[in-house]
Amino acid sequence: MKAQSSFSLLSFLALVLLQWSHSYINICNSLSIKEATIQDFQTAFDQNQLTSRQLVEFYLNEIEKLNPRLKGVIEVNPDALYLADKADREKKAKLPCSLSRLHGIPILLKDNIATKDKLNTTAGSFALLGSVAPRDAGVAMKLRKAGAIILGKASLSEWSMFRSSRAPNGWSARGGKGKNPYVLSADPCGSSSGPAISVASNMVAVSLGTETDGSILCPSAFNSVVGIKPTVGLTSRAGVIPISPRQDTIGPICRTVTDAVHVLDAIVGFDYNDARATRIASRYIPQGGYTQFLKANGLKGKRLGIVRDPFFMFSNKIVKQTFKRHFQTLRQNGAILVDNLEIANINVILDGTLSGEVTAMLAEFKISLNAYLKELVASPVRSLAEAIAFNKKNSDVEMIEEYGQEMFLASEATNGIGGAEKKAMRRLTNLTRNGFEKVMIDSKLDALVSVGADMSSVLAIGGFPGITVPAGYDSKGLPIGICFGGLRGFEPKLIEIAYGFEHATKIRKPPTFLP
């Protein structure tokens, strides 16, 4: 749910801008598989310098080496090498399917995205261990069709942070406590912690996360990777352990904007099992897909809104200077900054209790989770009530004494979408209409700019898209992200802006594993 963050901008004492130069792949040197892009891999496949099997073997080795410390991965797919061999044979035979950009590329899925294979799908909880999905999640089906290799399941904040707000970010009973690969003692944020940790530390090429409010944007920013939170419905939620059908969305977490866009291209579109939302959002998908928006001059002519209060109120001089420099870079690359804007009732929007977001989500969670659990072919628990009972019975492994399950209990106490919930949802619609939508339309903006996941609730309650891109590191080596958010269907503009910023700054550097 909500990214529980201790991400205080006040703590940024310095910002080091490091130029990260792109390394071309050479399989004789395993170092260069690290940080390589999908395009690098495809080039190496085509030139017979790399096989999908070698790539999978490389990542399995890295997972074995790094994961005991980082805990970004919950399970690896026992069939990964078999699938890689199959991809290599298809490539060798030059089958049409092997021309797909994701063909032979290993991907990790957050552990709330179901697959019908040997992998478990548990949202990090023992309550779902051994549960059997009726089919692959809609996005997993699309990935397989695109030739991607599902390498395993990535860790997360258990139940996507909806069991309890007391558990630390990145913790789950099954996955342990995920670590930030830049500074191991620091917060990796959540709830898609595992996908962000794993791509940042090169335990996989690309990954998928999910977001209800901040769960892609926040861990991506904290782990210095690119996260795309698509318009709700652009990607199917079928087969994904849910929180809220109004807000849930599935999106890529990758090292570069280009990689994230390649993954996005593969997962968008209609899905019979999430028909209503995916049909409505399908009209936003451009002819020819999203790669056409990867333009070096993507910032040119873009109108970017700045809401100083509360998003750029830095008391720290160095952070202030950093974003001042980023604003200059944006302008130098042709963007028009529309400064000192205001979002009506922003303090209400950012407070889930006041806005009605929590009221709506608690009721939606019970309904959606019960529907998900009912559809499983087999499962240790069949309802939220049974999950609560499971946690009580297994309170030691699920750490119930310490972290509790107060959100589960509050959700179980709800009784469908009644008067209070409808009122809350009307309130959310109204807040969005008079707030974000009004600012975007009145000032003719292409995007609103923010730091990290600070505006995640603004985007969450209206089903709006956002992209976060690495924007620097503080004096302790902790990553900072810049976020661009837009109206529903604004992905093409956001991709142009994000790619333009990435191209102009090239800030990302691989993790340092500082204690």
Ligand X SMILES: *[C@@H]1O[C@H](CO)[C@@H](O)[C@H](O)[C@H]1NC(C)=O
When the beta carbons of 123 and 228 are compared against ligand X, the nearer one is 123
Residue 86 annotated in active site: no
When the beta carbons of 97 and 132 are compared against ligand X, the nearer one is 132
Minimum distance, C-beta of residue 112 to ligand X, in the bound complex (Å): 15
| Burial of residue 245 (number of CB atoms within 10 Å: 0-12, 13-18, 19+) | middle
Please name the residue that has the structure tokens 């594993």.
Answer: 513
Residue 193 annotated in active site: no
Dist. CA 214–CA 190, nearest whole Å = 8
| Interstrand relation of 149-154 and 206-211 (parallel, antiparallel or unpaired) | unpaired
In the region spanning residues 423 to 442, those forming contacts with ligand X, defined by CB under 6 A, are 426-427, 430, 434
Q: Where are the alpha helices (DSSP H) in 394-444?
A: 400-403, 406-412, 419-434, 436-442
Minimum distance, C-beta of residue 46 to ligand X, in the bound complex (Å): 31
Q: Cα torsion for 500, 250, 253, 486, to the nearest 10°?
A: 20
Q: What angle do CA 476, 480, 484 make, to 5 degrees?
A: 175
Residue 310 as a binder of ligand X (CB under 6 A): the answer is: no
Residue 120 as a binder of ligand X (CB under 6 A): the answer is: yes
Count of residues interacting with ligand X (CB under 6 A): 12
When the beta carbons of 347 and 475 are compared against ligand X, the nearer one is 347
Minimum distance, C-beta of residue 310 to ligand X, in the bound complex (Å): 18
- Interface segment toward ligand X; rule CB under 6 A; list 88-96, 117-125, 262-270, 471-479: 117-125
Tokens of 68: 């005991």
**Contact present, 251 and 230 (Cβ < 8 Å):** yes
- Interface segment toward ligand X; rule CB under 6 A; list 112-120, 223-231, 252-260, 273-281: 112-120
Site string for ligand X, 322-361 (x = CB under 6 A): ----------------------x-----------------
When the beta carbons of 84 and 335 are compared against ligand X, the nearer one is 84
Minimum distance, C-beta of residue 113 to ligand X, in the bound complex (Å): 14
**Contact present, 286 and 153 (Cβ < 8 Å):** no
When the beta carbons of 37 and 198 are compared against ligand X, the nearer one is 198
Minimum distance, C-beta of residue 127 to ligand X, in the bound complex (Å): 12
- Interface segment toward ligand X; rule CB under 6 A; list 118-126, 284-292, 296-304, 403-411: 118-126
When the beta carbons of 379 and 505 are compared against ligand X, the nearer one is 379
Minimum distance, C-beta of residue 131 to ligand X, in the bound complex (Å): 9
Tell me which of 215, 220, 236, 456 is the catalytic residue. 215
Minimum distance, C-beta of residue 478 to ligand X, in the bound complex (Å): 32
| Interstrand relation of 176-177 and 171-172 (parallel, antiparallel or unpaired) | antiparallel
User: What is the DSSP code string of 213-259?
Assistant: BSTTHHHHHHTT-EEEEPPBTTB--TTB--S-TTT-EEEEEESSHHH
Residue 374 as a binder of ligand X (CB under 6 A): the answer is: no
Residue 172 annotated in active site: no
Residue of 118, 166, 324, 444 interacting with ligand X (CB under 6 A): 118
When the beta carbons of 73 and 250 are compared against ligand X, the nearer one is 73
Q: Torsion-angle region of residue 152: left (phi > 0), alpha (psi -120 to 50) or beta?
A: left
Q: What's the one-letter identity of residue 210?
A: T
Tell me which of 2, 91, 110, 493 is the catalytic residue. 110
When the beta carbons of 111 and 474 are compared against ligand X, the nearer one is 111
Residue of 129, 341, 410, 417 interacting with ligand X (CB under 6 A): 129
Given CA atoms 94, 97, 98, 99 in this order, what sign does their dihedral have?
positive
CA distances from 31 to 27, 43, 237, 279, 470 (A): 8, 17, 36, 43, 21
Minimum distance, C-beta of residue 423 to ligand X, in the bound complex (Å): 8
**Contact present, 72 and 198 (Cβ < 8 Å):** yes
Dist. CA 302–CA 300, nearest whole Å = 6
Tell me which of 191, 244, 450, 456 is the catalytic residue. 191
| Interstrand relation of 336-338 and 447-451 (parallel, antiparallel or unpaired) | unpaired
Q: Where are the alpha helices (DSSP H) in 283-418?
A: 308-311, 317-332, 346-349, 352-355, 357-375, 384-393, 400-403, 406-412
Residues in Cβ contact with 212 at an 8 Å cutoff, skipping those fewer than 6 apart: 1, 160, 162, 243, 244, 247, 248, 249, 361, 460
When the beta carbons of 135 and 503 are compared against ligand X, the nearer one is 135
Write phi, then psi, for 287 (nearest 5 degrees).
-55, 130
Site string for ligand X, 391-420 (x = CB under 6 A): ------------------------------
Minimum distance, C-beta of residue 430 to ligand X, in the bound complex (Å): 4
Please name the residue that has the structure tokens 């109206």.
Answer: 487
- Interface segment toward ligand X; rule CB under 6 A; list 116-124, 155-163, 244-252, 298-306: 116-124
Residue 78 as a binder of ligand X (CB under 6 A): the answer is: yes
Please name the residue that has the structure tokens 């292409």.
Answer: 446
When the beta carbons of 89 and 426 are compared against ligand X, the nearer one is 426
Minimum distance, C-beta of residue 468 to ligand X, in the bound complex (Å): 29
Residue 75 as a binder of ligand X (CB under 6 A): the answer is: yes
Catalytic residues: 110, 191, 215
Binding site for ligand X (CB under 6 A): 75, 78, 118-120, 129-130, 344, 426-427, 430, 434
